[in-house]
Copies of this chain bind each other. A is one copy, B any other.
Amino acid sequence: MSPLSEEQLMKRQEARRRQILEAALKVFAVRGLRGAKMSMIADEAKLSAGQLYRFFESKEELFVTLIRQVAQDTTREIAMIHDLPGSPYDKLRAFTATILEDKSTQYPFKLIQHANTDEDVPAEAKQLLHQFSVKRYIEQLLPLFEEGQRIGDFAQDDTRRLISAFLTMLSALITLNMPLDDDHPLPNADMLMRIVAGPRSR
């Protein structure tokens, strides 16, 4: 008989699995599918490379699993925007600021970027993202943006297109990750909100 109860084993398995996914998220987010080495993920997760294969059949499966999870997580993350206080503008601004400031929040977005732009990303991963993340984000944010437009705080563009533009810029900004120039920080949430608010009339 095993010295650990079935339940304990399951828990440990699950913990280990999460540990790997967390490590893989960091490494894949930073280095992309090709740049990430299984050994790096193993190191980051503090286990041997061989162990990874007890949980995931291949590097590719690990990547796709991560994409799947990230699609879920970010959906949940975005859902929380509605609970923030204030007007639609305030909510979106606060949400944006949080993402731009919190490094760990950025990993998922960076991973998504890599999945969208890297070569040799399995088609399944690209599919997953388009079907389950971006489109869903737009639908999630639709009420907020419509309200923002209704009360005149948001630009009067086509709503879905406005959301898409905003997400694109936010995503790009996160991926960029590094200020182009040491003396000047990355654009902040206020800068980004100009996209949404629309231009000052000149």
- A residues whose Cβ falls under 8 Å from a Cβ of B: 30-32, 34-35, 89, 113, 116-120, 130, 134-135, 138, 152-153, 155, 160-161, 164-165, 167-169, 171-173, 175-187, 190-191, 193-195, 197-202
**A176-B34 in contact (CB<8A):** no
Known: A194-B199, A199-B197, A199-B200. A171 touches B180 (CB 8 A): yes
A134 — which chain B residues lie within 8 A by C-beta? Answer: 180-181
**A191-B180 in contact (CB<8A):** no
Inter-chain CA distance A176–B169, complex, in Å, is 9
When all copies of this chain in the complex are counted, the total is: 4
Q: Which residue on B lies nearest to A198, using beta carbons? A: B200
A173 — which chain B residues lie within 8 A by C-beta? Answer: 168-169, 172
Inter-chain CA distance A197–B201, complex, in Å, is 8
Known: A31-B119, A153-B202, A202-B89. A168 touches B195 (CB 8 A): no
Known: A130-B182, A195-B195. A116 touches B169 (CB 8 A): no
**A119-B197 in contact (CB<8A):** no
